[in-house]
Structure 1
Amino acid sequence: MKKIVFIIIFLSITYFTFGQKLVDSTKTLSLIAHYSFDFPALDMKDRYGNNNGVGAELSYKTSKNVLFALNYTYLFGNNIKIEDSIFKGISTSDGFIIDQNGMYAEVFCYERGFSVIAKAGYQFQLPTKYYSGIQVMGGGGFLQHKIRIENRENVAPQILGDYAKGYDYLRNGPAGYLYVGYVFHANQKIIKFTAGFDCLFAFTQSRRDYLFPIQGPDKGTHFDMIYGFKFG
């Protein structure tokens, strides 16, 4: 997580270095860090609770207010709805895993994932002296998510290494994306703010040959969705 924070800070500094043209210029190039708070829906809500996203976006606006952007978002959360049932086959009647020392193992589950989206759209300028407007964008790309399993001191071999892959429910697949938001850019090179609503939806499939909780592979196709509020 420290590495992710460092990357976001670095990208924010890079954004200032890139700078922006002033309001009297209609073409702009931006590299900016962003944060989102998201809600899962459809098949994804059966497994995860609310999550967070941090990332970076490189965008370009033409003189005709047409937008092009490339976005990367790292997804993370700690609300796993199926946590109590994941290790049912290797747990005691009380729901604990016994480690190699004969003690109750400390096991933690987290949501982890990422998305890469290419998008395009249009900016509707507002009649103000500042470079501001309403942005509407759509696009497509890739979504991946899984359950990250951690065991303190790594003393529970039954959920470590390749065994962990049998419990992590790794899924990924092609994704679509929609965004509606507001952008404010004062007539200074370093002042910019964006806020809006976005929705990411994807057709995902399991990438594990065998999942221990269901005693076999997951061969179905899932319709996953996350939506929420994005700030940058």
Structure 2
Amino acid sequence: MRHAFDPAERAAVYRAIHERRDMRHFVPGAVEPTVLARLLDAAHHAPSVGYMQPWRVVRVTSAVTREALRGVVEDERLATADALGERREDFMKLKVEGMRDCAELLVMALMDGRDAHVFGRRTMPEMDLASVACAIQNLWLAARAEGLGMGWVSLFDVDRVARLLGMPGDARPVAILCLGHVEAFYPRPMLESEGWAARQALHLYEDRWPAEPARDARRDSTAAAD
């Protein structure tokens, strides 16, 4: 195809996509400032609805703030475990973050004043969040290409993190990102290896959403008769 990358470049893009992992285990070593700058630049070149570029990044350099954030995550980890019922013990065995060990801790957030951006958001205001997710994905893939691991931590109380980082009232933290060197990348997603979940088949529909199978209706009527 006329505008395609050459085969080696294409292979590298797909390799980064397929070998990206949500990392929770890190080894000592700083991220070079030039590398960190490249990663943040990759995030900043993500697509955004209405070109609003709603991402804001807080780089956490204070050990006190890092530990405070970890405390917020730990509180939510315990609350999540309690909410999982019969899967509580399985969940508690999982390592869900590497906040103490990672070289860099970043908080990706939604900007304040988002309501002023109407282009692309009038009927779907959540497109600002989708745009931030694109920035996180860019950062993740670039980190994998640089040989660095990244983990997305989403177990936290949004308001507590916002207050801790001094965010304006209409800004919102989306992700705590652990970034750093790793001994090795997981061969498979960790939650898959741990038996928590399996990769699903792609749900691809043509033209319209498929109708509910008639057999479901039959099963319901049989159950009612019982």
TM-score bracket, normalised by the shorter chain, equals under 0.3
Instruction: From the two aligned structures, give the one with the greater helix fraction.
Output: 2
Instruction: From the two aligned structures, give the one with the greater strand fraction.
Output: 1
